[in-house]
Amino acid sequence: MKIGEKAQVALPFILIVSGVIVEIVIASSFVAYFLSNSGLGERLQVQAQTAADTGIWDALNKISGNKDFASSQTVYGISTTSGSATVTVSRTVNNANNTYVYAVASLGTAGTREKYVVATAIVDQLTGQMQVQSINEQAVQ
């Protein structure tokens, strides 16, 4: 075998091996990218949930401090270190039971993720005693 023939055999072998190595590196990059994004999405989801819960508890705290809070529908925003929430508070009067029925909705947002939490509370008009009836997560509309 001559020297020129050996070089002709070595060149395709080197190209094939380097092509396989490049494909492995590209595939590894995609796997690493998708794994890191899945963790980020989960973290953003938890942060959105925390922001929505913060909005609910902030509204319930305001209601417990002032039983006449939100005589008409009230919408306000609240910011946390990891997200924000838009809180909507509405009140209806139940004259038969002498109570206020509050409906609180909080839309928590963190990055591209959103969580929606609603709560219902009943406040006695005379004593101001508050009972939280429910706090539930619902699908974002």
What Å distances lie between residue 99 and 29, 94, 121, 125, 134, CA to CA? 60, 5, 10, 5, 16
What values do phi and psi take at 93, rounded to 5?
A: -105, 130
List of the chain residues with pLDDT < 50 = none
Q: Are 118 and 136 spatial neighbours (Cβ–Cβ below 8 Å)?
A: yes
Residue 22 lies in domain: 3-138
pLDDT digits (tens, 9 = 90+) for 101-110: 999 999 999 9
What total number of domains does the chain contain?
1
Residue 115 is predicted with a pLDDT of 95
Q: Cβ contacts of residue 117 below 8 Å, gap of 6+?
A: 49, 52, 53, 55, 56, 105, 106, 108, 135, 136, 137, 138
The pTM score is: 0.72
Q: For position 108, what pLDDT does the model report?
A: 96
Residue 40, pLDDT score: 75
Give me the pLDDT at residue 136, please. Answer: 94
- Sequence length of the chain is 141
Predicted pLDDT of residue 128: 86
pLDDT of residue 7: 61
